[in-house]
Structure 1
Amino acid sequence: MTLTDLQLDRYARHIVLREVGGEGQKRLLSAHMAVIGAGGIGSPVIQYLAAAGVGRLTIIDDDVVSLSNLHRQTLFATADVGAPKAERAAAVATGLNPDVDARAVRQRIMPANAAALLDGADIVIDGSDNFATRLAVADACVALRIPLVSASIGQFQGQIGTFRGWEPDQPCYRCFVGDAFDSDDCDSCSELGVLGAIPGIMGSWAAMEAIRHIVDFGPDAAGKLHIFNGITPAMRTVRITKDPACKTCGKPS
């Protein structure tokens, strides 16, 4: 791939970074990323990945825009209320950057369809709002050997981690949360609330982690959980260990 003059101009601030350069930008333009959820976390993920020149974005979300979304879901405007999130998000992405092939998938991702929807992606970014979806995505990523960036938020806090559970020394997302028996009944933003800027922080971070994987800069972030507290504000990082009894990535008994 040869970068055009327009691309050299558009991505100039990436290209001058020693850690990215022209080769890193070419990798982004050739990459396929799948984004689960076009909500509070998905909004900055989609915006920054599109702006960065990710060649293909698959945006998976079966929901429609509601008025209560707008204080944190920056992809959407008041006129979008009632519109399908995935389709509006894809339109915004292609409007931001004509290099991006953004495809909307108006389906709820579940164990039965997760592998088919994610197959072929270079990395998956999950910003969904329930454990049932997160575990379906995480299990499919292990089976397909696709790295997973998982970000979550609530009230004034956020968490983010990168998972490659098929590797012998790396945990998967299920190693972190367990079997989550309340997977269909977890607390939501509508019940607990969320400061609108928190998903912006975590979504931007998730975009950076996805770009890190494709370009390959800095130390490996897999297996680490970063926890951000917006009240303090402060951040801490913990190492997640692989669970040998994990039914997704553990050794069979």
Structure 2
Amino acid sequence: MPAAESDRSRSVSIAVKICGLTRVGDAAHAAHVGAAYLGAIMAGGPRLLRWDRARAVLGPRRHDLQRVVVFGEQHPDEVIVTVRALDLDIAQLHGTCTPDAIEIIRRETGRTVWPVLRVAGTTLPDGAAALAAAAGAVVLDAHVVGQLGGTGVALDWSGLQAAVRALRASVPGVRIILAGGLRPANVIEAIRLLSPDVVDVSSGVESETGVKDPVLVEQFVAAVHSAAGMQR
């Protein structure tokens, strides 16, 4: 099977992560309309939440969705403490990350770790395959100087096809979480080009910073479901 055809057919199940949640109602609505992952930010920036607020927004663990906290430059020990305290499903690491740190966090918490690859241009950062192998997943997000995410800047999806294909060949079974500038109007194209396992949106479904627009959230989820149907 040609590589491009293989990429298109590899998966028809694409999950939605609504990130940068700051309000309990927004999180509940996202889960209600079909988001599989809810994300809160503890890495800094305008959507930053503290422990108590993150706990309230994400709610308790449940079987039908995964709760994610985005970390920045926190030490692995701090990540471990937070994962345990909030009983998280996933720790998403936007700061400096190593395979050893991933292994420590996974071992000490028993939870999933998503390292973030901050991408500029059409190549993946050095060490991408090692991080992917350690975690079994990577998040692709735009590299914007001075910011760790939520920038609304889209990746060059077409230009990244070869690099993502090579990563999948190097680390069989790796899960690709695609972030960076996704919106209801462009997520179908992003899925068509890169076939991610998860699409991760924050600012692209907001009416203002930290406030999710329910109509945009519903449109985004519907677009993802439509794109998944096209891949069958």
| TM-score grouping bracket, smaller chain normalisation | 0.3 to 0.5
> TM-score under structure 2 normalisation?
0.33
- Higher relative CO (Cα under 8 Å, sequence separation at least 6) belongs to 2
> TM-score under structure 1 normalisation?
0.31
